[in-house]
């Protein structure tokens, strides 16, 4: 099994959630680590994948909102500094995969399945092979003890329950 590193300058781990029932807030985690091992990245079904997101690095382009997300109302970064994902099963269908694993947020662990697409491989200008993947999953934030909300005068709530997680990865061979 070969080890692969995430090229963070060409990768992202982001999310989006409904805001006030009419729009979406998008954000990302600026700091994360990943461990990817695979016999061959053109066949991701041979892989083992683990991610650790630094919750304090959350960025929604609004400092007040980011601070609220870091507070005890949401992630409580003082006691829950990381979000973890570890793959448990990977199935393949053409260039698409279902990557199922254990997602842990605020000490709550639930199985989550990501739909993953292999975007291809190529050589960068320095002759290093790179592999590209996109992944998406949807979770109900309340299942992970992220339950804060506010009712709106017009009906509905301030923050939607469903969170789309979007990951774009460029992987390089580990040195």
Residue-wise pLDDT for 100-154, tens only, equals 999 999 999 999 999 999 999 999 898 989 999 999 999 999 999 988 777 777 7
Reported as a single tens digit per residue, the pLDDT across 29-48 is 999 999 999 988 888 998 99
Tally of domains in the chain? 1
Arithmetic mean of pLDDT, 58-79: 95
For residue 89, pLDDT over 90 is answered with: yes
Kindly state the tokens that stand for 136: 């998406």
Give the Cα separation of 144 and 141 in Å (integer): 5
> Which residue range forms the structural domain that includes residue 83?
2-15+27-140+163-173
Q: What is the mean pLDDT of residues 86-94?
A: 94
Domain presence at residue 150: no
CATH number, residue 123: 2.40.128.110
- Nearest partner of 142 among 163, 121, 122, 118, judged by Cα: 163
């Amino acid at each position: 099994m070969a080890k692969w590193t995430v090229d963070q300058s060409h990768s992202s781990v982001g999310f989006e959630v409904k805001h006030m029932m009419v729009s979406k807030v998008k954000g990302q985690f600026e700091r994360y680590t990943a461990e990817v091992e695979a016999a061959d990245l053109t066949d991701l079904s041979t892989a083992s994948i683990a991610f650790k997101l630094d919750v304090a690095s959350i960025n929604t382009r609004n400092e007040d909102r980011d601070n609220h997300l870091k507070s005890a109302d949401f992630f409580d970064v003082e006691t829950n500094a990381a979000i973890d994902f570890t793959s448990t099963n990977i199935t393949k269908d053409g260039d698409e995969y279902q990557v199922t694993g254990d997602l842990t947020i605020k000490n709550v662990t639930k199985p989550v399945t990501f739909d993953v697409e292999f975007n291809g491989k190529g050589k960068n200008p320095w002759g290093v092979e790179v592999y590209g993947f996109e992944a998406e999953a949807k979770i109900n934030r309340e299942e992970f003890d992220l339950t804060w909300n506010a009712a709106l005068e017009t009906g509905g709530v301030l923050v939607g329950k469903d969170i789309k997680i979007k990951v774009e990865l460029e992987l390089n061979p580990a040195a």
